[in-house]
Amino acid sequence: MITSKCNFRARGLLAFLLLFLVLVTNAQDREQLEAKRKKKLDEIAFTQRLLNQTGQEQKENIGYLIILRSQIKNRQNLINSIDQEIELIANNIADTRSLIYALEQDLNALKQEYANIIYLTYRNKSTYHFLAFVFASNSITDAWRRLKLVRYYAEFRKQQVEIIKATQGSMQGKLQRLTNQVSEKELLIKNLEAEKRKLLGDTGERNRLVQQLKDKEETYKKQIEKDKKIAQDLDNAIDEIIRKEALKKASTSENTQLLSGLFADNKKKFDWPVQGVVSSNFGNQAHPTIPNVFINNNGIDISTTKDALAKCVFKGKVVHVIFIPGANNAIIVQHGEYYTVYKNLVKVKVAPGDEVAQGTVLGTVFYDDEKGTAELHFEVRKQTEKLNPVLWLKNH
């Protein structure tokens, strides 16, 4: 009988431990999902600021459409994250209920064991007193063993009561946890429905705007050709500057290699030059509204807030500040064999020859009153080779 009870207790303890481990793992997953949800909410709030700073007339342009598309993507990601969180909470609720059931079963078994002990004690009390049990020993050694047994029996009864109380307390805690989880799930479901309604509204606004912009295709095609000419002139100037700087640095190749190594070692660790939304990615990109029209991007474009300050992503030296009509200022910072380029700046704060640190303010991102947008163009190069900047920056 004792063996069977021990086996039962061992099985109950094992089940309890397994359920506990599942709950701990789920709790860690939940923390990650909560962090992901908060991050997405921050991104949505920032993107909404960009949308809100755009005037009514300025909303009929491509810049607004790009930001709106980014907001739709953010909301969809948030909805997916909330969905995952709701599913995880549902699993937690099921696991907690299983744990409560296991505790109830264990508690009932503990109470039954304790009842049996009390019954046996009462039944044997008049015929077999513990003191008589000790004095009936055949030797001192035997008496000592019997005394230890009596003490163990008394301690066992005491521990049984404490275990029952602890199990009851644990079960109450799990019941409260279950209630909280159900409330959290209901709140998340409400948030999910609200985000779905907002997503529906944003999608409708996007579809309306795309339809309107189709009537302006010829105007946009002319602007694209004009922008391409400006961008090509600026790229040619930057390439020439970098080639000349590479020749100058030949005599100090050791320092160049050292700084190049430091820059390369920090890949994926750089802070973004400005907080914002990527409005155009690296490489050959399809135009957002005109079919079969592609624009080659040597870096990334980041839509940001009005009066945003562009900051250097890594220590280096300003080698040139270029002004191109129609493109404002571009700043080139050298980091050994690597260069970072920051375009579309006004109120420039640095000059050629300046040593700059990570986080140094380079200038203010130009705000286009006509478009209602502020957009920084950012590039990373290894000499004249264009690299994808997103691969060098911290994940959003």
pLDDT in tens, 305-331: 889 999 999 999 999 999 887 779 999
- Contact indicator for 310, 364 with CB cutoff of 8 Å: yes
CA dihedral 94, 96, 98, 101 (to 10 degrees): -140
Q: How many C-beta atoms lie closer than 10 Å to residue 52's C-beta?
A: 7
The share of the chain scoring above pLDDT 70, in percent, equals 66
Tally of residues, the chain: 396
- Contact indicator for 104, 12 with CB cutoff of 8 Å: no
Domain boundaries, the chain: 2-213, 220-391
φ/ψ of 340, rounded to 5, equals -115, 140
pLDDT in tens, 264-295: 999 999 999 999 888 888 988 776 666 666 67
pLDDT in tens, 368-390: 887 778 899 999 999 888 999 99
> C-alpha distances in angstroms, 192 versus 68, 86, 187, 322?
20, 9, 9, 48
pTM over 0.85: no
Q: Which residue has the higher pLDDT, 331 or 238?
A: 331
- Contact indicator for 133, 120 with CB cutoff of 8 Å: no
According to CATH, the superfamily of the domain at 220-391 is: Glucose Permease (Domain IIA) (2.70.70.10)
Residue type, 62: I
pLDDT in tens, 64-76: 778 888 888 888 8
